[in-house]
Chains A and B, each alone.
Chain A
Amino acid sequence: MAAECGTAAEALVGQVVLPGDLLLLPAHYDEDAESERLRLSAGAAPQGRLLCGPGLRRSGAGLLVTKCGLLRHRPAGGGAYWVDSQQKRYVPVKGDHVIGIVTAKAGDVFRLDVGGSEPASLSYLAFEGATKRNRPNVQVGDLIYGQFVVANKDMEPEMVCIDSSGKSSGMGIIGQDGFLFKVSLGLIRKLLAPKCEIIQELSQLYPFELVLGMNGRIWVKAKTIQQTLIIVNILEACEYMTAEQRKQALAKLSGNR
Chain B
Amino acid sequence: MQRGLDSQTKKQLEEEEKKIISEEHWYLDVPDLKEKESHIIEERSFLRCEDLVYGRMSFKGFNPEIEKLMIQMNSKCKEEEIEEDDKMEADVSDEEMARRYETLVGTIGKKFLRKRDQRVLKDDDEDDEVEEGNSNPRPSKRAKKMFLKPQD
Contact = CB atoms under 8 A, between A and B. Distances in A.
B42 A207 contact: no
Interface stretch (B61-69, B112-120, B135-143): B61-69
Contacts of B48: 51, 53, 80, 95
B44 A54 contact: yes
Please classify the interface of chain A as helix (H, G, I), strand (E, B), loop, or mixed, using the class held by over half of its residues: mixed
B41 A52 contact: yes
Contact size range, B = 20 to 34
B52 A207 contact: no
Contacts of A194: 51-53, 74
Interface string A26-43: 001101100000000000
Interface stretch (B17-25, B32-40, B121-129): B32-40
A212 B55 contact: yes
Contacts of B50: 72, 74, 82, 189, 193
A51 B49 contact: yes
A203 B66 contact: no
A118 interface: no
Contact of B43 (A53, A97, A211): A53
B75 interface: no
A96 B45 contact: yes
A31 B51 CA distance: 30
Nearest to A81: B49
Contacts of B36: 31
B46 A29 contact: no
A214 interface: yes
9 contacts: A51-B49, A53-B48, A80-B48, A82-B50, A169-B73, A193-B51, A196-B53, A214-B55, A223-B62
7 tightest A-B CB contacts, nearest first: A207-B60, A203-B59, A207-B62, A53-B49, A212-B55, A192-B52, A209-B58
Given A82-B50, A169-B73, 15 more contacts: A50-B41, A51-B49, A52-B40, A52-B42, A54-B43, A54-B45, A54-B46, A57-B42, A72-B50, A82-B49, A170-B69, A192-B52, A208-B60, A211-B56, A214-B47
